[in-house]
Amino acid sequence: MKIATFKIFYFLWILCTFICLTDGARILGVFQMPSYSHYQLGDRILKELAARGHEVTLISPYKQMEQTKNFRTIVIENAFEVLERNVVDLFSMSTDNMLSTNLQFDTRFLPYTENTLNSSNVQKLIKSNEKFDIVILERLMNDAFHGFCAHFEAHCIISSPIPTSSWTNIQMGNAGPPSYVPELSSQFSSKMNFFERAYNFLGYLFYTTWFHAFMVPLHNEVMHKYFTNVPHFYDVYYNVSLMLINTHTAVHPPVPRLPNMIEIGGYHIKSPKPIPKDLKAYLDNAKEGVILFSMGSNLRSKDLPNDKRRAILNSFSKLKEKILWKWENESMSDLPGNVKLSKWLPQNDVLAHPNVKLFVTHGGLLSTLEAIYHGIPLVGIPVYGDQYSNMRIAEDYGYGISVPYEYLNEEGLTAALEQGLKNPTFSDVAKRRSKIMHDDQLKPLDKAIFWIEYILRHNGGKHLKSSSLSFNILQYLLLDVIGFISIIIAISICVCIFALKKIRRPHKKVTISKKKN
Ligand SMILES: *[C@@H]1O[C@H](CO)[C@@H](O)[C@H](O)[C@H]1NC(C)=O
Ligand SMILES: *[C@@H]1O[C@H](CO)[C@@H](O)[C@H](O)[C@H]1NC(C)=O
Ligand SMILES: *[C@@H]1O[C@H](CO)[C@@H](O)[C@H](O)[C@H]1NC(C)=O
């Protein structure tokens, strides 16, 4: 007994010295989007940092329901009201092209950004004398937030909720040839035909020009309005220590990434929890299989126009499988017998249930990652943003079928559902991809924490920064070198021509003079 007690004390003592000796850093996270999926991404990393002894502050539109040790939230007032004021029918964006989608996002998100900085709670923090070692920004058209990093003299870490594109690559000095790196909202995967490459390239040119010519001055202005004494936008913007990217090689095509650009896709996924009793009974009893249908947290299926909703219902009613539909409204009058509605669903836990055969989704990134994590094939109804390209990749890889929202009708959806259910290759590929997703050296969340602490240990990780960041565009594209070589070649050609003329002229003169004679 005594020895056992001693052992316990000894263990506790060791544990305490370990915890007390680990220097907790002060970390600020800025995740401003009034959208649950974005909130979830920030919450997961920051709570984990708090659990590991760091002192964490989160700026967020969401209040915390319960107290967490080492964790404080600064709530952005009015975030949801600003969202309501700027509300657009997301379903109507399905016909927009890549440029207009991106430009809309850019201009629409600027008021959110300003509202966050103008919020009195955030102002209090900015005006306080608090210090932070690290600032983690969720980058989503809110670049004025780079001011947080400069203001608190902290290492800047970017959390990118979407795959890399010109949008992130240029900031990090990372190579991203538009021949196989699709632009944001481009609807493409890495495999592009001639016209797609041309479109992607033009999109790249237009978007980067627009961003640097129009958005940068606006963000610079907003940044300096709320943060005094910070350098010019570009000095802060290109001074990022680490970028955490929400993609995974199981779900995304391989593209270049510098050593300070780390893939952590899937980190938000928690191990499945027990499902509520009635839902579990429903899933257990569905011997023919269950199809899960959810349009995510930003698009609400209750906002679907009636014709699209009817098309979906009609095609569901023809199946023998049961359908579990995340529906945010009261019950539907014309509901077929095999469809069950639920206002809220523990999506990840449901996907883990062995009777779930297929996931009908909007093709959002978090949903796609969760489906592949559990090896479930997809039928996607992409509407906007990255959803098209997520589904395009799913089709390329063979674990999903895309039925774009604008073309959604009963026949198309029925055909896709039948394929997804009857053709075993979709499920086989999804299971293979799932294996890839589980075969990681470090779990994505541990990887994120490792790299954040690495940046702390190595004082900003300057050694990881690409030297291309110090080049101007002429140097980066080697236009100066190409220009120089062209001049040398041109001069050489001129010299040769001149020399040839010199050699041939006297010779001619001789022959002419000979004839005369
Ligand atoms: C900032 O907040 C103040 C007071 O809450 C408000 O009067 C003002 O309109 C806000 N400005 C912007 C640009 O949102
Ligand atoms: C860049 O970030 C580092 C911290 O990682 C900081 O020490 C440095 O002052 C920053 N440079 C500029 C120009 O803001
Ligand atoms: C949602 O519920 C409200 C109130 O029950 C009803 O008036 C409305 O028509 C419903 N919307 C849809 C799309 O069913």
Whole-angstrom Cα distance, residue 166 to residue 467?
18
- With a 6 A CB cut-off, is 235 part of the ligand 2 pocket? yes
Residue 293 Cα, ligand 3 centroid: separation in angstroms?
Answer: 19
Closest atom of ligand 1 relative to the 120 alpha carbon: 5
Residue 155 Cα, ligand 2 centroid: separation in angstroms?
Answer: 7
Domain span at 317: 277-438
How many CA atoms are closer than 13 Å to the CA of 133, on its beta-carbon side?
18
Count other Cβ atoms within 10 Å, centred on residue 32: 26
pLDDT at 10: 57
Per residue in 385-407, pLDDT (tens digit) is: 889 999 999 999 999 999 999 89
| 514 part of a folded domain | no
Q: How confident is the model at residue 243 (pLDDT cuts 50, 70, 90)?
A: very high
End-to-end CA distance of the chain: 130
Residues 432 and 296 in one domain: yes
Residues 464 and 375 in one domain: no
Residue 77 burial by Cβ neighbours in a 10 Å radius (0-12, 13-18, 19+): middle
Per residue in 123-181, pLDDT (tens digit) is: 999 999 999 999 999 999 999 999 999 999 999 999 999 999 998 999 999 999 999 99
Buried b (16+ CB within 10 A) or exposed e, 451-460: bbbebbeeeb
Q: What are phi and psi of 155, to 5 degrees?
A: -70, 140
| 183 part of a folded domain | no
Residue 465 Cα, ligand 2 centroid: separation in angstroms?
Answer: 12
Residues 160 and 135 in one domain: yes
pLDDT at 1: 47
- The residue whose CB lies within 8 Å of the most ligand 3 atoms, and thus the one to mutate among 329, 334, 341, is 329
Whole-angstrom Cα distance, residue 212 to residue 439?
40
Q: How confident is the model at residue 81 (pLDDT cuts 50, 70, 90)?
A: confident
Comparing 111-115, 131-135, 322-326, 332-336, which segment has the lowest mean pLDDT? 332-336
- The ligand placed nearest to the CA atom of residue 330 is 3
Residues 327 and 384 in one domain: yes
Residues 120 and 261 in one domain: yes
| 212 part of a folded domain | no
Q: Which residue has the higher pLDDT, 101 or 242?
A: 242
How many CA atoms are closer than 13 Å to the CA of 16, on its beta-carbon side?
6
Residues 421 and 490 in one domain: no
Whole-angstrom Cα distance, residue 199 to residue 215?
22
- With a 6 A CB cut-off, is 236 part of the ligand 2 pocket? yes
Residues 374 and 497 in one domain: no
- With a 6 A CB cut-off, is 239 part of the ligand 2 pocket? yes
Residue 310 Cα, ligand 1 centroid: separation in angstroms?
Answer: 44
Residues 413 and 487 in one domain: no
Residue 118 Cα, ligand 1 centroid: separation in angstroms?
Answer: 6
When divided into structural domains, the chain yields a total of: 3
Per residue in 245-268, pLDDT (tens digit) is: 999 999 999 999 999 999 999 999
Residue 4 has pLDDT above 80, yes or no: no
| 507 part of a folded domain | no
pLDDT at 450: 98
Pair 180, 190: CB distance under 8 Å: yes
| 220 part of a folded domain | no
Ligand 3 binding residues, C-beta < 6 A = 302, 329-330
Q: pTM of the full predicted structure?
A: 0.89
Q: Which one, of 208, 355, 207, 342, lies nearest residue 278 by Cα? A: 342
Q: What is the CATH number of the domain that holds 42?
A: 3.40.50.2000
Whole-angstrom Cα distance, residue 437 to residue 431?
10
| 3 part of a folded domain | no
Q: How confident is the model at residue 46 (pLDDT cuts 50, 70, 90)?
A: very high
Residue 374 has pLDDT above 90, yes or no: yes
The mean per-residue pLDDT over the stretch 341-352 comes to 92
Residue 222 Cα, ligand 3 centroid: separation in angstroms?
Answer: 40
Comparing 18-32, 168-182, 208-222, 312-326, which segment has the lowest mean pLDDT? 18-32
- With a 6 A CB cut-off, is 458 part of the ligand 2 pocket? no
Q: Which residues contact 159 (CB under 8 A, 6 or more apart)?
A: 31, 41, 42, 45, 136, 137, 138, 139, 243, 244, 246
Q: How confident is the model at residue 21 (pLDDT cuts 50, 70, 90)?
A: very low
Q: How confident is the model at residue 36 (pLDDT cuts 50, 70, 90)?
A: confident
Nearest CA to ligand 2 atom 7: 153
Residues 343 and 448 in one domain: no
Whole-angstrom Cα distance, residue 154 to residue 60?
19
Whole-angstrom Cα distance, residue 497 to residue 495?
6
Residue 387 Cα, ligand 3 centroid: separation in angstroms?
Answer: 27
Q: Which residue has the higher pLDDT, 130 or 513?
A: 130
Whole-angstrom Cα distance, residue 407 to residue 381?
9
Closest atom of ligand 2 relative to the 461 alpha carbon: 5
Q: Which two tokens stand for residue 380?
A: 């996607």
Residue 334 Cα, ligand 3 centroid: separation in angstroms?
Answer: 12
Residues 246 and 363 in one domain: no
Scan for tokens 């959810």, then name that residue.
Answer: 294
Q: Which two tokens stand for residue 377?
A: 């094939």
Residues 263 and 302 in one domain: no
Given 438, 462, 484, the domain boundary residue is: 438
The mean per-residue pLDDT over the stretch 18-45 comes to 85
- With a 6 A CB cut-off, is 150 part of the ligand 2 pocket? yes
Task: DSSP for 74-95, please give it.
Answer: EE-TTHHHHHHHT---GGGGGG
The mean per-residue pLDDT over the stretch 44-57 comes to 97
Instruction: Give the CA radius of gyration of the chain.
Output: 28
- The residue whose CB lies within 8 Å of the most ligand 3 atoms, and thus the one to mutate among 301, 328, 330, 333, is 330
Per residue in 288-320, pLDDT (tens digit) is: 999 999 988 778 777 888 899 999 999 999 999
Residues 158 and 115 in one domain: yes
| 205 part of a folded domain | no
Q: How confident is the model at residue 511 (pLDDT cuts 50, 70, 90)?
A: low
| 452 part of a folded domain | yes
The mean per-residue pLDDT over the stretch 349-374 comes to 96
Scan for tokens 């004390």, then name that residue.
Answer: 9
Report the mean per-residue pLDDT for the chain: 90
